[in-house]
Amino acid sequence: MPHLFRILVPDVYLENIYSIDTAKLKEKKNIKGIILDLDNTIVPWGTNNLDDRVLQWIEQVKQNGVKVCLVSNTHKNISDIGHKLAIPFLYSRYKPRRKPFREAMKIMNTNNKETAVVGDQIFTDIWGGNRLQLLTILVCPLSRSDSLGTTIISRVLEGFLLSILFRNGKIELTKGKWPN
Ligand SMILES: [Mg+2]
């Protein structure tokens, strides 16, 4: 596969954040910190409707001894949500640039072998994470709405890319808990 493609392929593709078993992520993959996307990963785009399930999941992650840092390219709602979840947050960043990922690792005090990225977008979350050889976890977006820029630039290309990857067996949607 051409290099450009490889850097856009996540290590795993899951239905949502709840599929991630963070106890096993730590035990089997030695992951100690998660760089977590905001829009369409933990809240539907443009809202701050934080489901109780997200709060419970974050609580579980913390109890498992895994750190979390929110990193968003936008700024809306993030401080509210960061405070509610009691986790650090970085906003107005430019994923897939490496800088925000490095900043988050510095905050969590983890290195690239101990850090996972979780997000719904290949061209920001996955690309950026792969550039630093982090463990990359793609999740299905929570809603179909996106910022105008995202819709035009990313989603069409992303849909196209995903269809190629699926067709060539380079990616598959893993159902249920992961890792198992
Ligand atoms: Mg997102």
pLDDT in tens, 18-34: 999 999 999 999 999 99
Q: Is residue 167 part of a domain?
A: yes
Å from CA of 67 to ligand 1 middle: 19
Å from CA of 1 to ligand 1 middle: 26
Count CB-CB contacts under 10 A for residue 169.
7
The residue to which tokens 């107005």 are assigned: 92
pLDDT at 75 over 90: no
pLDDT at 130 over 60: yes
95-116: string of b/e by CB count within 10 Å (b at 16+)?
Answer: bbeeebbebbbebbebeeebbb
Å from CA of 119 to ligand 1 middle: 6
Å from CA of 27 to ligand 1 middle: 27
> How many domains would you assign to the chain?
1
Which CATH number goes with the domain that contains 101? 3.40.50.1000
Å from CA of 40 to ligand 1 middle: 5
Question: What does the chain come to in residues?
Answer: 180
Give the confidence band of 148 by pLDDT, cuts at 50, 70, 90.
low
Rounded to 10 degrees, the C-alpha dihedral 33/38/40/43 comes to: 110
| For residues 59-88, average pLDDT | 93
Q: Is residue 45 part of a domain?
A: yes
Q: Is residue 38 part of a domain?
A: yes
Å from CA of 58 to ligand 1 middle: 17
66 or 166, greater pLDDT: 66
Range of the domain at 153: 3-174
Q: Is residue 179 part of a domain?
A: no
Å from CA of 82 to ligand 1 middle: 15
| For residues 95-117, average pLDDT | 97
Q: Is residue 158 part of a domain?
A: yes
Q: Is residue 78 part of a domain?
A: yes
